[in-house]
């Protein structure tokens, strides 16, 4: 389906609007802080509207995944073409974007979280221009990764996120921000290099025959990479279940596992979360972590299905370890932000376990969990931010009896906490249930052990609620004020979604059901 | 005979223009003594003319002066790069306050620079062992003097001395190697060397020794490990403009020479396979040797750069590492490898010159080259710091900058040639390199400026020069099709 605004495709608008905003922000005079804030808000607001348009007209029946015909909003242009090089054939890099059930939900999430991040950035006073310019660049990178269908393009967007994130943590963060920023940068960069090498190996292994000219064309087009027939005989990644394919899978997996983050690649996350300013934590947990899981689905599952099947137990086991380990670590924290960081590791473990099940139920659960976790952690980080703004403290033992002083705030925060806990009726429950159901079909014991993670989660969340919101208010906290209008604005859409998707998750599930069912079929068939 | 010479001269305009410029500079320097950059402008004009005449050579593919020098697309590509980087260096020199202390000797400086450029232009075209050596020495001797240009400064003289000693020894070794090669094959023309080798000379031991010796001499010029020891000291001691010139232009010329020399002399021209090289020379695993040297350069260069505080020393080690990355392309002596070297050099020109330029601007104002003193500069010189960040990020190889495209192609060439272990080392060392590049960025931005520190103000020409380097660095990261086409159409070598 074509959908254009002023002759430019909707996805291009979606991805590059923030860049336009960034340029405007950079051109504004230094003193006009408010104009910069409004620019960022308008740009990300427009993204939300565009995402809404996409939601309205997205065709739920089309599958996508490996079939170009059933992708939607496709934009495909030649970007770099070098004609017939004698020893490699034609070289092709495309500007190729499109949406299918895998990515559409993530695009919505990115638009929403991006907008909410701007609202919660309103009180940033330090170097406003630099902050919003980097922020908008980051949003472009995230959005780009979700819509790119050319590996090269995917990679560019992936790496574009690094530098803004480094500065956003390093310049606007807490006391140990420098350490956290370089740690984040380093971990992700290692992954990036692994992905670069694998991408090149894939590129040289894949060539399709251009029907028009009969030339053999090397391409970064992911859909061509998904077709086993396009692997050139004798090339590095040719064949099924070869060692090099396992190596390639592993390299990609490590890259994505760092981003998710899965145990044992998770150590950057608590540092980054603790030091990052609130809106950046929201972005980090809300969107950035999802990039990893999305990459697994799109690239590892799609391009190397045989290796995926080979490693699927390994993935499930890592998912299990992350669930338990993350939950246990969360229990041990007395820093509010660190607690949420570890709970993110635990919840992302559920995503990995769900998609490793390789059945539709588990996959739907996993992808829905990505979306839900994005919403829930955004609420939690915003909630910490509210307290931090007022008291400059984050320690769990610094608080108590907040419910007396800030009843409305407590209500909202507790909804978020309970959603994270997986309370039926809120969205976290639905996706966790699906994930575990799917996983149980595939791996009984792993799932049984994993589910105990839920109990630990319940424990640390209830304990946190008790320590922070209940009990007697310490004297120094008696002057706390309840939420401001801006804070309501940030919380409201998220809370609505938490409740809505908890009661009636169909609008989200129907977006991706067809695609995920097809992906399952594709992967399970691809291994044989 | 006269006709041949006349015809040769008509293909030799770029070099002639540079030599004429050199002479004009000497004369003008005698007449005009005003301590201004008059001679610099003359050199710039000469380079512009030379550049135009190089571009007019596009498409020709022939040998001149009795097969001494080739004028082919390959040479044109490298000459464009050399002239481009030389023009930037002349512009840098006009902005350098380091050189101002010696303003009465500007004429000398630009004259030597012109001599060096002349040598480089010859280097990339030479097809005769004798010519190769002459061009090589022309560049070396001019550069020895230029490195010691700030003669009142101890470190500058020291650097020059070290450079001479190392340089003399290694070019002596190279000369010995070349003479052995002549002895074995009975030819000085590299095409004849090639056919003599193809016919079989039976002296494979001596042949291997001679090639090793030649590798030493040429390896010295590109500062490849283990012949790199001179580089950090020389870069640190030399005026920063000359450090940049050595790191970029000299590197470009040397790579031009090495690629031509090896791919014509030692390759069976009948059958260049996708990975295959060196079929003629038996005995040593040459590709493995070069691969090992590349790996060493990447490891040593990047690891040592981690500990440097002087920006010039750091950039020196980073240049060693980059030479290692480029050498990976030489290991795959097929079209892919060569194209990727050329792409790398082209992008390297902008990003590395850019980093040196910003370092020079900072040292003009701060009178220090210590990275520790860069603290808070991000707020005192916003544009320059952003530019520095982009150059360093590009040197690291992150998209969307040109450095990424350069790495992409060189890694791609290595992977397609099946050199997985080598490219893995390249990947790991790239991660290591992030540390020291980003350290500069960290110092610029993550620290508050000292109390009372003033904004650094730079004049408009300085900023324009900066943009001339910055825009290509960014642009090449997003749209590089013309560059690929240019490099690809330029690998045609005369007789290759």
- B408 contact A CB<8A: yes
pLDDT of residue A514: 87
Which of A227-236, B176-185, B195-204 is predicted with the least confidence, judged by mean pLDDT?
A: B195-204
pLDDT at B44 over 90: yes
Chain A residues touching B336 at Cβ < 8 A: 87-88
Q: SS in 3 state form for chain B? A: CHHHHHHHHHCCHHHHHHHHHHHHHHHHHHHCCCCCCHHHHHHHHHHHHHHHHHHHCCCCCEEECCCCEEECHHHHHHHHHHHHHHHHHHHHHHHCCCHHHHHHHHHHHHHHHHHHHHHHHHHCCECEHHHHHHHHHHHHHHHHHHHCCCCCCHHHHHHHHHHHHHHHHHHHHHHHHHHHHHHHHCCCEHHHHHHHHHHCCCCHHHHHHHHHHHHHHHHHHCCCCCCCCHHHHHHHHCCHHHHHHHHHHHHHHHHHHHHHHHHHHCCCCCCCCCCCCCCCCCCCCHHHHHHHHHHHHHHHHHHHHCCCCEHHHHHHHHHHHHHHHHHHHHHCCCHHHHHHHHHHHHHHHHHHHHHHHHHHHHHHHHCCCEHHHHCCHHHHCHHHHHHHHHHHHHHHCCCCCHHHHHHHHHHHHHHHCCCHHHHHHHHHHHHHHHHHHHHHHHHHHCCCCCCCCCCCCCCHHHHHHHHHHHHHHHHHHHCCHHHHHHHHHCCCCCCC
Chain B residues touching A170 at Cβ < 8 A: 442, 445-446
| Chain B (331-350) residues lying within 8 Å, Cβ to Cβ, of chain A | 334-336
Nearest CA in chain B to A247: B420
Instruction: Please state, in angstroms and rounded to a whole number, the distance separating the CA atoms of residues A270 and A358.
Output: 30
Chain B residues touching A79 at Cβ < 8 A: 479
Q: Higher confidence at residue B354 or residue B286?
A: B354
- B162 contact A CB<8A: no
Chains A–B, number of C-beta pairs less than 8 Å apart? 82
pLDDT at A149 over 50: yes
pLDDT at A521 over 90: no
- B272 contact A CB<8A: no
pLDDT of residue A143: 93
pLDDT of residue B275: 40
Answer whether A80 sits within 8 Å of B393, measured CB to CB. Answer: no
- B276 contact A CB<8A: no
Chain A residues touching B407 at Cβ < 8 A: 196
pLDDT tens readout for residues A159-173: 999 889 999 998 888
Q: Which of B269-278, B343-352, B481-490 is predicted most confidently? A: B343-352
pLDDT at B278 over 70: no
| Chain A (389-418) residues lying within 8 Å, Cβ to Cβ, of chain B | none
Of A81, A186, A201, Cβ closest to residue B434: A186
Of A155, A182, A201, Cβ closest to residue B438: A182
pLDDT tens readout for residues A276-293: 888 999 999 889 999 999
| Cβ contact A346:A377 at 8 Å | no
Q: Which pLDDT band, with edges at 50, 70 and 90, does A18 fall under?
A: very high
pLDDT of residue B430: 92
Answer whether A87 sits within 8 Å of B480, measured CB to CB. Answer: no
Q: Distances in Å between the alpha carbon of B284 and those of A13, A418, B208, B288, B338? A: 57, 69, 7, 9, 22
pLDDT tens readout for residues B154-166: 889 999 999 999 9
Average confidence (pLDDT) over B374-378: 86
Average confidence (pLDDT) over B56-69: 84
What value does the mean pLDDT of chain B take?
A: 88
Answer whether B399 sits within 8 Å of A155, measured CB to CB. Answer: yes
Average confidence (pLDDT) over B37-56: 92
pLDDT at B345 over 50: yes
pLDDT of residue B280: 60
- A156 contact B CB<8A: yes
Q: Which of A51-60, A68-77, A343-352 is predicted most confidently? A: A343-352
Q: Which residues pair with B128 in a beta bridge?
A: B189
pLDDT at B242 over 90: yes
pLDDT at B81 over 50: yes
Q: Which pLDDT band, with edges at 50, 70 and 90, does A346 fall under?
A: very high
- A204 contact B CB<8A: yes
- B409 contact A CB<8A: no
Chain B residues touching A155 at Cβ < 8 A: 399
Q: What is the nearest CA distance from B260 to chain A, expressed in angstroms?
A: 19
pLDDT tens readout for residues B103-146: 888 888 999 999 999 999 999 989 999 999 999 999 999 999 99
pLDDT of residue A525: 83
Instruction: Please state, in angstroms and rounded to a whole number, the distance separating the CA atoms of residues A500 and A508.
Output: 10
With a pLDDT cut of 70, the percent of chain A lying above it is 98
Instruction: Please state, in angstroms and rounded to a whole number, the distance separating the CA atoms of residues B220 and B192.
Output: 26
With a pLDDT cut of 70, the percent of chain B lying above it is 96
Of A177, A185, A194, Cβ closest to residue B434: A185
Q: Higher confidence at residue B417 or residue A15?
A: A15
- A200 contact B CB<8A: yes
- A201 contact B CB<8A: yes
Answer whether B431 sits within 8 Å of A189, measured CB to CB. Answer: yes
Q: Which pLDDT band, with edges at 50, 70 and 90, does A22 fall under?
A: very high
- A171 contact B CB<8A: yes
List chain A domain ranges.
Answer: 314-528
Q: Which pLDDT band, with edges at 50, 70 and 90, does B65 fall under?
A: confident
Q: What is the nearest CA distance from A464 to chain B, expressed in angstroms?
A: 34
pLDDT of residue B276: 43
What value does the mean pLDDT of chain A take?
A: 87
Answer whether A189 sits within 8 Å of B416, measured CB to CB. Answer: no
Q: What is the nearest CA distance from A167 to chain B, expressed in angstroms?
A: 9
Nearest CA in chain B to A86: B335
Q: What is the nearest CA distance from A177 to chain B, expressed in angstroms?
A: 9
Which helix (H) or strand (E) segment is A98 a member of? strand A89-99
Interface test with A, best of B375, B414, B428, B431 (most A CBs within 10 A): B431
Chain A residues touching B423 at Cβ < 8 A: 197
Which of A101-110, A248-257, A375-384, B274-283 is predicted with the least confidence, judged by mean pLDDT?
A: B274-283
Chain B residues touching A190 at Cβ < 8 A: 431
Nearest CA in chain B to A185: B434
Q: What is the nearest CA distance from A92 to chain B, expressed in angstroms?
A: 10
Q: What is the nearest CA distance from A171 to chain B, expressed in angstroms?
A: 6
pLDDT of residue B274: 40
pLDDT at B272 over 70: no
- B424 contact A CB<8A: yes
| Chain A (230-289) residues lying within 8 Å, Cβ to Cβ, of chain B | 236
Answer whether B445 sits within 8 Å of A197, measured CB to CB. Answer: no
pLDDT tens readout for residues A446-500: 899 999 989 999 999 999 888 888 877 777 777 778 888 888 888 999 999 999 9
HSE, side-chain direction, 13 A CA sphere, residue A214: 0
Which of A4-18, A187-201, B197-211 is predicted with the least confidence, judged by mean pLDDT?
A: B197-211
Give A416's contacts (C-beta < 8 A, 6+ positions apart).
Answer: A376, A379, A380, A383, A494, A495, A498
Q: Higher confidence at residue B274 or residue B270?
A: B270
Answer whether A159 sits within 8 Å of B398, measured CB to CB. Answer: yes
pLDDT of residue A19: 92
pLDDT of residue A397: 81
Of B335, B481, B485, Cβ closest to residue A86: B335
Q: Which pLDDT band, with edges at 50, 70 and 90, does B283 fall under?
A: low
pLDDT of residue B282: 67
pLDDT at B281 over 80: no
Answer whether B412 sits within 8 Å of A163, measured CB to CB. Answer: no
Structure ipTM over 0.90, yes or no: no
| Chain A (78-97) residues lying within 8 Å, Cβ to Cβ, of chain B | 79-82, 85-88, 91
Which helix (H) or strand (E) segment is A208 a member of? strand A207-209
- Name the CA radius of gyration of chain A, rounded: 22
Of B334, B415, B484, Cβ closest to residue A201: B415
């Amino acid at each position: 389906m074509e959908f254009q605004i002023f002759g430019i495709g909707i996805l291009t608008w979606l991805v590059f609007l923030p860049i336009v905003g960034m340029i405007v922000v950079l051109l504004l005079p230094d003193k006009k802080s408010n104009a910069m804030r409004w620019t960022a808000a308008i740009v990300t607001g427009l993204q939300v509207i565009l995402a809404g348009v996409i939601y309205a007209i997205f065709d739920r029946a089309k599958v996508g995944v490996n079939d170009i015909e059933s992708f939607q909003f496709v934009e495909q242009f030649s970007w770099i073409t070098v004609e017939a090089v004698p020893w490699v054939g034609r070289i092709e890099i495309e500007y190729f974007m499109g949406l299918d059930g895998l990515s559409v939900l993530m695009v919505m999430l990115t638009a929403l979280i991006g907008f909410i991040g701007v609202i919660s950035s309103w009180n940033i006073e330090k170097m406003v221009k630099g902050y919003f310019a980097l922020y908008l660049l980051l949003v472009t990178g995230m959005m780009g990764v979700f819509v790119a269908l050319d590996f090269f393009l995917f990679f560019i967007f992936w790496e574009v996120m690094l530098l803004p994130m480094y500065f956003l943590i390093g310049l606007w963060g807490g006391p140990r921000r420098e350490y956290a920023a370089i740690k984040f940068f380093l971990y992700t960069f290692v992954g990036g290099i692994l992905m670069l090498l694998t991408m090149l190996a894939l590129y040289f292994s894949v060539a399709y025959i251009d029907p028009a000219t009969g030339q053999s064309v090397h391409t970064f087009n992911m859909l061509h990479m998904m077709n086993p027939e396009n692997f050139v005989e004798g090339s590095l990644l040719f064949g099924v279940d070869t060692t090099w394919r396992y190596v390639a899978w592993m390299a990609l997996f490590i890259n994505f596992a760092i981003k998710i983050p899965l145990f044992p690649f998770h150590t950057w996350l608590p540092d980054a979360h603790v030091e990052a300013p609130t809106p950046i934590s929201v972005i980090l947990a809300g969107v950035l972590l999802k990039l990893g899981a999305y990459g697994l689905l799109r690239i590892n599952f799609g391009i190397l299905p045989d290796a995926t099947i080979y490693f699927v137990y390994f993935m499930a086991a890592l998912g299990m370890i992350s669930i338990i380990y993350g939950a246990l670590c969360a229990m041990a924290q007395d820093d509010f932000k660190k607690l949420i960081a570890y709970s993110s590791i635990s919840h992302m473990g559920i995503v990995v376990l769900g998609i490793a099940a390789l059945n539709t139920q588990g996959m739907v659960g996993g992808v829905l969990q990505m979306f839900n976790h994005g919403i829930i952690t955004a609420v939690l980080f915003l909630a910490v931010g509210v307290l931090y703004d007022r008291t400059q403290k984050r320690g769990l033992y610094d608080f108590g009896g907040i419910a007396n002083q800030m009843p409305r705030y407590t209500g909202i925060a507790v909804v978020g906490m309970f959603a994270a806990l997986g309370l039926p009726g809120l969205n976290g429950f639905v996706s966790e249930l699906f994930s575990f159901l799917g996983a149980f079909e595939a791996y009984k014991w792993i799932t049984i052990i994993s589910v105990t993670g839920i109990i630990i989660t319940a424990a640390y969340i209830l304990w946190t609620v008790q320590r922070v919101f209940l009990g007697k208010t310490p004297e120094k906290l008696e002057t706390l004020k309840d939420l401001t209008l801006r804070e309501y604005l940030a919380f409201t859409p998220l809370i609505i979604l938490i409740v809505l998707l908890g009661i009636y998750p169909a609008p989200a599930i129907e977006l991706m059901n067809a695609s995920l069912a097809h992906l399952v079929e594709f992967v399970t068939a691809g291994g044989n | 005979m006269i006709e041949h010479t006349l015809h040769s001269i008509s293909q030799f305009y770029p070099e002639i223009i540079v030599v004429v410029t050199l002479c004009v500079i000497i004369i003008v320097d005698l007449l005009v003594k005003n301590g201004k950059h008059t001679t610099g402008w003359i050199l710039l004009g000469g380079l512009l003319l030379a550049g135009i005449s190089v571009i007019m050579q596009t498409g020709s593919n022939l040998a001149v002066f009795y097969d001494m020098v080739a004028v082919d697309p390959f040479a044109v590509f490298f000459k464009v790069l050399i002239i481009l980087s030389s023009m930037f260096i002349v512009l840098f020199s006009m902005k350098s306050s380091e050189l101002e202390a010696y303003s009465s000797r500007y004429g000398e400086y630009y004259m030597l620079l012109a001599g060096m450029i002349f040598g480089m232009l010859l280097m990339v075209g030479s097809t005769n062992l004798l010519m190769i050596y002459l061009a090589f020495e022309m560049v070396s001797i001019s550069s020895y003097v230029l490195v010691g240009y700030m003669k009142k400064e101890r470190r500058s003289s020291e650097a020059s001395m070290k450079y001479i000693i190392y340089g003399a020894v290694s070019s002596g070794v190279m000369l010995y190697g070349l003479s052995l090669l002549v002895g074995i094959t009975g030819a000085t023309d590299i095409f004849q060397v090639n056919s003599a080798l193809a016919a079989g000379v039976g002296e494979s031991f001596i042949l291997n020794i001679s090639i090793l010796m030649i590798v030493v001499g040429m390896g010295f010029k590109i500062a490849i490990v283990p012949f790199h020891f001179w580089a950090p000291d020389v870069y640190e001691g030399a005026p920063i403009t000359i450090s940049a010139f050595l790191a970029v232009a000299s590197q470009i010329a040397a790579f031009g020479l090495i690629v031509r020399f090896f791919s014509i002399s030692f390759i069976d021209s009948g059958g260049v396979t996708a990975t295959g090289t060196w079929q003629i020379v038996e005995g040593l695993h040459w590709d493995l040797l070069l691969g090992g040297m590349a790996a060493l350069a990447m490891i040593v260069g990047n690891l040592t750069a981690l500990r440097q505080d002087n920006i010039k020393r750091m950039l020196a080690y980073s240049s060693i590492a980059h030479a290692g990355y480029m050498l990976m392309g030489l290991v795959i002596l097929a079209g892919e490898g060569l194209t990727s070297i050329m792409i790398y050099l082209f992008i390297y020109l902008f990003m590395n010159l850019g980093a040196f330029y910003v370092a020079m601007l900072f040292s003009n104002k701060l009178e220090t080259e210590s990275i520790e003193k860069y603290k808070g500069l991000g707020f005192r010189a916003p544009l320059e710091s952003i530019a520095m960040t982009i150059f360093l990020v590009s040197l690291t190889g992150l998209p969307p900058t040109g450095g990424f495209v350069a790495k992409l192609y060189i890694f791609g060439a290595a992977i397609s040639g099946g050199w997985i272990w080598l490219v893995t080392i390249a990947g790991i060392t790239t991660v290591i390199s992030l540390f020291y590049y980003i350290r500069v960025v960290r110092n610029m931005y993550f620290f508050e400026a000292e109390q009372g520190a003033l904004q650094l103000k730079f004049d408009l020409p300085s900023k324009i020069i900066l943009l001339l380097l910055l825009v290509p660095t960014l642009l090449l990261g997003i749209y590089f099709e013309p560059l690929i086409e240019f490099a690809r159409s330029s690998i045609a070598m005369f007789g290759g």
